[in-house]
Structure 1
């Protein structure tokens, strides 16, 4: 069983280390991960050997509190909101403590330092005879500071008593030592006044040390306040996701629209979504058409067209038109709820790089206490019994040591990194995957559906003799309409896009392995491969056969169409590469990552696609069950492999790879097997994921370096190791300030990840899609479309098409001859764009 728990009372990495150690000691516990940032714990244990009460008892015995937070796989969003509310309440209380502390510290500091700095003080605080008033006033000013910050003593001495001291124990010991020294000073002053020893009174009046205790507590509280406030910003990505969930849904019941809380929506309910409304749960459209903005879920800024049979997801926004859909996933099963769960689980998991910090944290505080005691004893011996000097050094060592920075170095960066990934539509399931991704040197890409669209499109149309393009396409689409072959669907789709009517076909016959035949208006027509035409005795021109071979060499599938009297022409179809595939391959190669393409296609088709995209290595005719073996072969060569795929047959390979990335349009099986899910099915997001991983791990290493170097430099400085050379002793007040700022610096450095922006090889940025809720009312976001155009042969053709498109009001177009495409930006209907290109004498074969 895997169980999530909330843990209370943790203040530093020593705490999380003690909790982990205590829970690991429970029989039946296989694995435990404690997160200081989220105050959470995930335990994997055998239910037959251990129970949740045993685990909670172990945590309590270690000096902390624990409670179940629901099953780790179905943790409700409400638990997150409760945690956020608790954190906000704690922050408000900390702010109150800070205000009170400073309100009394300022007069305390002024009073204690006034004589030394020459500041004006009332006469009642001057002179030997007023020494007790001077000292007792300082004690009274200190008491409120001690009272509002009593948490350090309650927790610190409790952990000390249990033999598992934490940061609070260091603060409690340091400030208590200062307080006890001040109380001793009070008694010495009273003794001196009572026995007429003015020298004794003057000596101890200037050496009270009470302000140090107040300063230590106040500065530590200031640091914790800033740290807590900064930590709150690390989880903003999760909070924003949760805020996207609508609170109500309009449900059709007995023919009447009824608004109900979203929690009451059941699978099968019919839900109405009006323009501007949010989709409350996942489902399938049954009635109506609309454009739906899914940017909050997928990062895709262009709205998706939705009609009957299309899926819609919770939190997407209906931009135009109304529709009715049937609920298929509700509550914690919706896409949004799963996203929140995955981001939470990833941010609370622990990266392998954190192991060193965990080991140090387990022994850090006891070691510091030992160093502080040795420091005080050495100074006592060296100075001939100077208690003040010894106390200064010992207390400084206690309060400068910072286990917090060590504990926060990794989790804050992981939380910000996974949250940033979610903003780009990249769901990272664990910290382990995030760390492993930065080290990959080989990426394996499945071809069909990953590098390519996954469905053939008509690419070439070559009429012969007197046959026109329209006539050839009409005959081809009519013949192929009854066929179930994927290439047939591509031809029929092209005819529909060109608004070419289809003719009825009779006596349709599928000829296995060769093609099809049928009668159109009493005449027999054939469609198929070269063997079919040779069998029917239809002559083939050698030049035309060369064209067919050239198409095949280019990775396309040529189909011959003929009537009984002769050949009509050739059509070619191919599974087209996705718009960003070549750019993705180039981006990986620019990062020094080798790109391998796996496909079940024949070698010639695979070589054509691979060469066009620029991949380093092509492995063709790979059976689905052999994909995992190919990944394992690369790993056996010592390579760190990431696999990107989308289908059921990719699942074993995704699981075998060091990191598996599933594109979101793929199957649920592939997404479950993967470590990272790319929600909007854009391969460039795989590049973004790698760059984000590298940025996150670099940030973690920076945090760990500064956390370690701070303690390595700070502790010897506080102990007075450099005093013989520099003649500098570190005042405990400065030590407390340094300790406070170390944690703040680590958290602030991690927050820099929020500025992360991926880079393309040419230096261009991948823009972060603007969430729909940030668009101003009435604002029109221009649409960008790519038109595939047939018939362009030279720059003059490009000029004709460019002029035709740019003459459309509100449209800006760029035409590219190499890719036979036009990129159009503006608010124009597809039919208008197609008509403009057609009027110019060319054919639009597809719009995406």
Structure 2
């Protein structure tokens, strides 16, 4: 049990720890203008090295810089100025943030675009002059001008990094360009500068594609809302969402999006909740139902009482968690960064040896071997390797969020695809979590509708979940309830009341066994699968063996019938578990505190192979640990509220129904935003697709480097081929990663169908 302490405590004490940690909450800054992942990583290291900073983490896609410790904004802004970054305190009301970020990046990119165009123009002029045998001075001047315009941003970054002995990408490129000029290779120096500037523009564009999914989430909620205020006049005013107070009444017209989380107090409509749950089918809602910011009201006018501030809305929390998730590095990403850290200095040393050793010891031509060393220096930049993982992870997490699947970091994205077994909680996971009437068996001349009406009438004053299920079933059949007098709850047995002057009991077998009625034989009023003239107790036992709760209805002298209630298996459970098996999940388990008969019935209906019943919370942990000892990586799927110790102990904790449930959003590693188990196979498929793409990227990046290094020695690798290989690889792995933005549940289902 000691192994569960750390993670379990974070789950079970979320509310209390919030208050305790609020005094040391990290500072969040916004960094605009990021177009290069390697530069962003370097900037993050510089911030980390500032005095008083304990920990710094930069999300290169969203620009969120999270700092623990003392924050010197001015010092950070000076560091950012070296990369043309604009840095300010983060504002959580995301509209202004999104617009200023876009404006800042566009302004920065405009200058880069102008320099790129000018560099391209003068590079072309230089080549044309050479090909037409024009003046040599004109050609050299054109190449030098192209070199300055194309490499300006790179030169500025290098001038700040070189004095600190930080041999980053900008330093390597600058040395290569200046070295080419020094040995008279004007054309190649200018070409390298131009291609590098072009690659930066393309990398910025691909990063924008990654940002777009977050911006789409930010733009889901309206920025203003119509609110009714004033007790007597009831004036409707349109105000920004930041000014809306808890308890305000929002007026939602047909076709409008809901701006804030709240509860309907008037009106009926169907709401499109795809933004929150990923469910494309509109959900019918009326008075008392909860609604979420960013959802679309399809037809009816609604009055909604605001229950959460704009920064606390479900969509705001989703955006925040997705942004946080993108900063959590996966093991594959950590490996790449460790590899790059060792690889870069080794290749730099090799480039120096290639440039110096052959001329110095074997008298070979200096210019030729310096050129080869410079080419190796260019190709040494691990740009493609560095971006091979984070863009794929960001794309996968963003795509999942768009389909109601919230993955809280690259670690969990990687782990869920490697699962060997999955354990499910029963109630609210494999089952709907809400009891429903499954059987109405009337005896004698009583009809089934009359029995249900009588049972519901007796239960009408009760607040018990089983009583509510019976009342709901009667309402669904259009039955009107009779007045009940002298109602009394019988703890542990049932209830009693007077209907039409007749005392009616409803309860379990114990209640009627005490009256000596359970051994009576049933004379069924309809032709059912249960045969006539069967002892009533045998009928009860058969229903219980099916996982149902049998509630008998009768008076002092006889049993009138049985109403069976059960927490039904979700319609999607069996199909989902079958798909999980098809995906290679070796074993599926169910852990429940329910009785063995119910557990056996639910397991049979849902297709669970192994189940354990009557487990207390700590016993579920013990059962899970045995499964983990056998299979290694095991996920626990629950409702995010119960079974906290088991969720904490699992490799990946998966919570059902995160929409509107703070506990699920805060505690689980992966959240299925709607009570939709079908998203679980998609999560596994998305993980495996992401890891496949990451492996492709890493393999391709390393292979290009190996080929380029081997091509140096015979002199096949030119400078412009080196930059093309390096930056071309970067663009290709980024574009390959962006394919994940198109991998939704539909793509997964098509792939699965084609394989089958």
Smaller-chain TM-score bracket: 0.7 to 0.9
490-499 or 217-226, which moves further after superposition? Answer: 217-226
Map 1:425-464 onto structure 2 (within 5 A): 425-464=404-443
Q: Secondary structure at the match of 1:251?
A: strand
- The answer to whether the 8 A contact 1:178-1:210 is kept is yes
Structure 2 counterpart SS, 1:172:
helix
Residue 636 of structure 2 is matched in structure 1 by 643
Q: Distance in 1 between matches of 2:547 and 2:46?
A: 61
Range moving further from structure 2, 658-667 or 586-595: 658-667
| Inter-partner Cα distance in structure 2 for 1:6 and 1:370 | 37
Deviation at 1:59?
Answer: 8.9
The residue number in structure 2 matching 1:247 is: 223
Report the CA distance shift for 1:423/1:640 in structure 2 as closer, same or farther (over 3 A): same
- Cα separation, partners in 2 of 1:666 and 1:281, compared to 1, 3 Å: closer
Q: Distance in 2 between matches of 1:297 and 1:150?
A: 45
Q: Hey, what's the Cα distance between the residues in 2 that align with 1:75 and 1:361?
A: 37
Give how far 1:295 is off: 1.1
> How far 1:80 moved relative to its partner?
4.2
Note the C-alpha offset of 1:518: 2.4
Q: Does 1:675 align with 2:669?
A: yes
1:588 aligns with 2:564: no
Identify the residue that residue 622 of structure 1 maps to in structure 2: 615
Larger RCO, structure (CA 8 Å, separation 6 or more): 2
Partner of 2:463, secondary structure, is coil
Alignment match, 1:574: 566
Change in Cα spacing, 1:60 to 1:434, as seen in structure 2 (3 Å) is same
Give 2:548's match in structure 1, choosing from 531, 549, 556.
556
Distance in 2 (alpha carbons) for counterparts of 1:551 and 1:150: 80
Match for residue 96 of structure 1? 114
Quote the Cα distance in structure 1 between the aligned partners of 2:81 and 2:629: 44
3-state SS of 2:124 partner = helix
Report if aligned partners of 1:36, 1:407 keep a CA contact under 8 Å in 2.
no
Distance 1:471 1:54, change over 3 A: closer
Q: Identify the match of residue 252 of structure 2 among 267, 270, 273.
A: 273
Tell me: CA distance 1:55–1:451, structure 2 relative to 1, closer, same or farther (3 Å). farther
Q: CA deviation at 1:504?
A: 1.6
Match of 2:703 in 1: 709
Q: Compute the displacement of 1:496 (Å).
A: 0.6
SS at match of 2:506: strand
Spell out the pairing of 1:80-95 with structure 2 (5 A cutoff). Answer: 80-95=98-113
SS in 1 for 2:183: helix
For each residue in 1:35-67, what CA deviation from the matched residue of structure 2 results, as whole angstroms up to 9, or x when unmatched?
Answer: 555555434x4x4xxx11299569949976888
Paired residue secondary structure (1:343): helix
1:12 deviates by: 6.3
Larger radius of gyration: 1
> Relative to 1, partners in 2 of residues 1:674 and 1:566: Cα closer, same or farther, differing over 3 Å?
same
- Kept in 2, the 8 Å contact 1:220–1:739? The answer is no
Query: Does 2:183 align with 1:181?
Result: yes
CA gap 1:16/1:141 in 2 versus in 1, 3 angstroms? closer
Q: Which residue of 2 aligns with 1:203?
A: none
Shift of 1:212: 1.0
User: Relative to structure 1, is the Cα distance of residues 450 and 657 closer, same or farther in structure 2, using a 3 angstrom cutoff?
Assistant: same
Q: Give the secondary-structure state (helix, strand or coil) at the position aligned to 1:615.
A: coil
Cα distance, 1:75 vs structure 2: 7.9
Q: 1:14 to 1:327 in 2, by over 3 A?
A: closer
Structure 2 counterpart SS, 1:503: coil
Once residues 751 and 136 of structure 2 are traced to their aligned partners in structure 1, the CA distance between those partners, rounded to angstroms, is 70
Q: CA deviation at 1:513?
A: 2.6
474, 484, 495: which one aligns with 2:463: 484
Contact 1:372 1:395 in 2 (8 A): yes
Q: 1:109 aligns with which of 121, 127, 137?
A: 127
Q: Deviations over 1:237-271 (max 9, x none)?
A: 11111121212100112201111122221211111
Deviation at 1:371, TM superposition (A): 2.3
Structure 2 distance, partners of 1:369, 1:508, is: 87
Provide the C-alpha distance between the structure 2 equivalents of 1:715 and 1:59, rounded to a whole number of angstroms.
37
Aligned to 2:692: 698
Q: CA deviation at 1:164?
A: 0.5
User: Paired residue for 1:375?
Assistant: 354
* Change over 3 Å in CA distance of 1:349–1:56 after alignment to 2: farther
Q: How do 1:53-202 and structure 2 match up within 5 A?
A: 53=72, 56=75, 60=79, 70=89, 76=94, 78-112=96-130, 114=131, 121=132, 125=134, 133-182=135-184
Residue number among 27, 34, 37 corresponding to 1:3 in the alignment? 27
Secondary structure in 2 aligned to 1:653? helix
- Report the secondary structure of 1:329's partner residue: coil
Higher mean C-alpha deviation, range 11-20 or range 509-518: 11-20
Partner SS state of residue 435, structure 2: strand
Whole-angstrom CA distance in 1 between matches of 2:32 and 2:250:
42
Secondary structure of 1:455 counterpart: coil
Structure 1 residue 707 displacement after superposition: 1.7
Deviations 1:553-586 (A, max 9, x none): 0101112222345332222110011121111221
Matched, 1:763 2:740: no
Q: Is the 8 A contact 2:64 2:90 kept in 1?
A: no
Map of 2:726 onto structure 1 = 739
1:389-415 Cα offsets, whole Å, 9 max, x none, are 223312211222232112211110111
Measured after TM superposition, the shift of residue 178 of structure 1 is 1.5
CA distance in 1, matches of 2:268, 2:81: 59
TM-score by length of 1: 0.78
- 1:42 matched residue in structure 2: 66
User: How do 1:524-535 and structure 2 match up within 5 A?
Assistant: 524-535=503-514
Give the 3 Å change call, closer, same or farther, for CA 666–602 of structure 1 in structure 2: farther
Q: How many residues align?
A: 710
1:608-650 CA distance string (max 9 Å, x none)? 1012111122121122454444434433446212122115223
Counterparts in 2 of 1:36 and 1:457: CA distance versus 1, 3 Å = closer
Q: Is the 8 A contact 2:378 2:723 kept in 1?
A: yes
What stretches of structure 1 of length at least 5 have no aligned partner?
115-120, 126-132, 183-208, 766-848
Structure-2 change in CA distance of 1:8 and 1:456 (3 Å):
closer
Q: CA deviation at 1:426?
A: 1.0
8 Å CA contact retained: 2:548, 2:566: yes
Q: Say which SS state the counterpart of residue 232 (structure 1) adopts.
A: helix
Matched, 1:685 2:679: yes
2: distance between equivalents of 1:670 and 1:277? 28
Cα distance change, pair 311–673 in 1 and its aligned pair in 2 (3 A): same
With over 3 angstroms needed to count, the CA separation of the structure-2 counterparts of 1:327 and 1:19, relative to structure 1, is same
Distance 1:627 1:85, change over 3 A: farther
SS in 2 for 1:524: strand
Q: Deviations over 1:483-506 (max 9, x none)?
A: 332222111111111111222222
In 2, Cα distance between equivalents of 1:102 and 1:61 = 28
Deviation digits for residues 756-783 of structure 1, max 9, x if unmatched? 1444599359xxxxxxxxxxxxxxxxxx
1:197-237, Cα deviation, whole Å (9 max, x unpaired)? xxxxxxxxxxxx21111111111222222222122111221
- Aligned residue for 1:601, secondary structure, equals coil
Residue 624 of structure 2 corresponds to residue 631 of structure 1: yes
Could you list the runs of 5+ residues in structure 2 that have no partner in the other structure?
A: 1-24, 522-533
Cα RMSD after superposing both structures: 2.9
State the alpha-carbon separation in 2 of the partners of residues 54 and 327 from structure 1. Answer: 36
Find the partner of 2:211 among 235, 250, 259: 235
How far apart are 1:349 and its partner, in Å?
2.7
Closer, same or farther in 2 for the Cα pair 1:65/1:748, shift >3 Å? closer
The question of whether the paired residues in 1 share the 8 Å contact of 2:425 and 2:590 is answered with: yes
Cα distance in structure 2, aligned partners of 1:423 and 1:666: 16
Give me the whole-angstrom Cα distance separating, in 2, the residues matched to 1:762 and 1:351: 25
Equivalence map 1:256-405=2 (5 Å): 256-381=235-360, 384-405=363-384
Matched residues in 2 for 1:379 and 1:5: separation?
A: 50
Any conservation in 1 of the 2:264–2:305 contact (CA below 8 Å)? yes
Distance in 2, matches of 1:61 and 1:465, equals 85
User: C-alpha deviations, 1:348-376, integer Å up to 9, x for none?
Assistant: 33222212221233354444433222112
